[in-house]
Amino acid sequence: MRATSLTSYVVLTLMWWKSARLREARGATDSNGMSTKNEETNMERELLSELDVWAPDAASSHKVRARGVVIGAGLNWFMGTGQILLFTFGVFVKPIVESTGWSRADVSVAVLWGQLLVALASPLTGLAVDRFGARRVAWFAGPSLGVGVMLIGLLSSSAQSFVFFFALAFLLGAAQVPVPYVKAVANWYDKRLGLALGCAMLLSGAGVALLPPLSAALIDAFGWRNAYVALAVMVWVVSIPATALLLHEPPKTSAIANERSRVVLGAEKIEVAGVRLRQAVRTRPFWLVAIGFYLISVVVGAGTHVLPIILSDFGLKTQRGSFVMTIVGVTMMVARFGVGALLDHFRAPRLTGLVFFGAAVGFICLATEISPITVPVAAALIGIALGAEVDALSYLAARTFGRRHLGSVYGALMFCFSFGLGCGPALFAQIYKHTGSYHVAFIVAAGLAIIATLLVLAIKDDDLNGSAGGA
């Protein structure tokens, strides 16, 4: 039996036994027919004393397990579908094109189809998380992603088959996305939800920072096909132990409001506020969030795709060019932790809008000039937006629509987010195909980021009450 459950069981058993003795005492009478008040009082004091001894231990055990959930979620984010397939894709494009003769546009469209499948699966992932729990979904998510990634390296024999297996890998990894892990963390934290999500997402940023240069090194050493096989093995090695050892559902015998909550004894069912998906989609805040985050995901998805290609076009080798993604990843880590902590103290729409506007500034820099100064600046601003958007999306979803049906609501919002990430690279590839450069694409991206900024700023304080659309 788990330590936390054992502690709760002992406390509940002790409480039942003491209560039974107290009832017996109340039924007893002395020779004068008076209730034995002294015995009742002594037993009440003894019961409260026992609870004061056990409850802090139970709360401490819950705190340790809650922090383990944050780490487990972070490790799975580190090996998420986006980190493995999307953010390394810019590193793979040119080696694939050079070794096979396939066109850049044909290869790039694979991301669009893959992200479309992830987007379509996101609501189903959310429903599965609400129905079966985050841990059960996570048991399937990581291993299946690894299978899909391995198939890309082993079975891609033409541009069409590459697109098919790349999209299939996205589909198999459709659950290895933030949806189950946001729900897992939100189940354990309330008052410090932003900080907890930020801590978990630090490892997500680490994946963006480390996996592209690692992939570039694997490509240079073993070729792009074997590089995908190696990434698949890494997914299994990290995801399976993280889920088995760290990712847990909260105990049913207690309500954990946050990491400092006191154990609530005897509660068989905890009522959590929140609205259903069908209620959420009828509200104004839902569409402001959905459209705003779709547009910004188009922008950052395109940015992370094109930055390594730009440097490669300017003559840098794949591994050196990939380090621009390290800048994106590092700033993403800083943003995910920093924004996560700031969301608990500042108005979320304004903070999110500021970050989105920064992405617009980054693309304006790229449209002005491609230089050793503008590219790192743009990479940093895009990384901050990328790091903040998942943090802000999960925070706004939890605060606006509550946690009771967070999996399904967040899954629907992730549909928009995931689809946008796929649209960005495809949009840039088509603009490049017709114009021969990315200049127009940079201007379009800046405009989309400004529109996204205005949409999130339109979210009102009254919308962040956890029950938009009615309970």
Among left, alpha and beta (phi > 0; psi -120 to 50; other), residue 315 is left
CB 18 within 8 A of CB 46: yes
262 versus 388: the higher-pLDDT residue is 388
- The listed range with the strongest mean pLDDT (98-112, 143-157, 311-325) is 143-157
Higher-confidence residue of 119 and 14: namely 119
Go through the chain and tell me how many residues it has. 471
- The DSSP H or E segment spanning 74 is helix 37-78
Q: What is the mean pLDDT of residues 264-269?
A: 42
Q: Is the model's pLDDT at 150 over the cut of 80? A: yes
Q: Would you state the pLDDT for residue 338?
A: 77
- Give the model's pLDDT for residue 319: 58
Average pLDDT value for residue range 229-236: 96
Of 147-161, 229-243, 329-343, the least confident: 329-343
- Structure confidence at residue 123 (pLDDT): 79
Span 139-155, average pLDDT: 95
pLDDT greater than 90 at residue 240: yes
Tokens of 227: 């590089």
Helix/strand/coil percentages in the chain, nearest 5 = 80, 0, 20
Residue 404 tokens read as: 């009771």
Mean pLDDT (the chain) is 79
Which tens digit of pLDDT belongs to each residue from 122-138?
778 888 888 888 889 99
Of the candidates 292, 298, 335, the residue with the CA atom closest to the CA atom of residue 463? 292
pLDDT over 90 at 342, yes or no:
no
Let me know: does 420 contact 412? Beta carbons within 8 Å.
Answer: no
CB atoms within 10 A of CB 372: 9
Q: Per-residue pLDDT tens for 50-102?
A: 544 445 555 567 678 888 889 999 999 899 998 999 889 988 988 999 899 99
> Do 350 and 443 touch, CB atoms closer than 8 A?
no
Give the H or E element holding residue 227: helix 224-245
- Count CA atoms within 13 Å of residue 432 on its CB side: 20
Q: What is the pLDDT of residue 54?
A: 46
φ, ψ (nearest 5 deg) of residue 402: 80, 175
Looking at the predicted structure, is the pLDDT value of residue 269 above 70?
A: no
Q: Where are the alpha helices (DSSP H) in 79-187?
A: 81, 89-100, 104-132, 134-155, 159-172, 178-186
Confidence band, pLDDT 50/70/90 cuts, at residue 25: low
DSSP string, 394-420: HHHHHHHHBSTTHHHHHHHHHHHHHHH
pLDDT at 43 over 60: no
**For 403, phi and psi rounded to 5 degrees?**
-105, -10
Confidence (pLDDT) at 448: 96
Residue 200 has pLDDT above 90, yes or no: no
Helix axes 224-245, 193-222, angle to 10 degrees: 150
- Is a pLDDT exceeding 90 seen at residue 139? yes
**By percentage, how much of the chain surpasses pLDDT 70?**
77
Mean pLDDT of 239-268: 62
pLDDT of residue 11: 47
d(CA 433, CA 221): 31
pLDDT (0 to 100) of residue 345: 79
Task: Give the three-class secondary structure for 359.
Answer: helix
Q: Is the pLDDT of residue 447 over 50?
A: yes
Residue 179, token pair as written in the block:
């949806």
CB 129 within 8 A of CB 412: no
Question: Where do we find the tokens 């400092």?
Answer: 260
Whether pLDDT at 30 is above 60 = no
- pLDDT for the residue numbered 278: 84
- Looking at the predicted structure, is the pLDDT value of residue 457 above 90? yes
* Secondary structure letter of residue 461 according to DSSP: G
| pTM for this model (two decimals) | 0.66
Query: How remote is the C-alpha of 107 from its chain's centroid?
Result: 27
* 127 vs 250: CA distance, rounded Å: 18
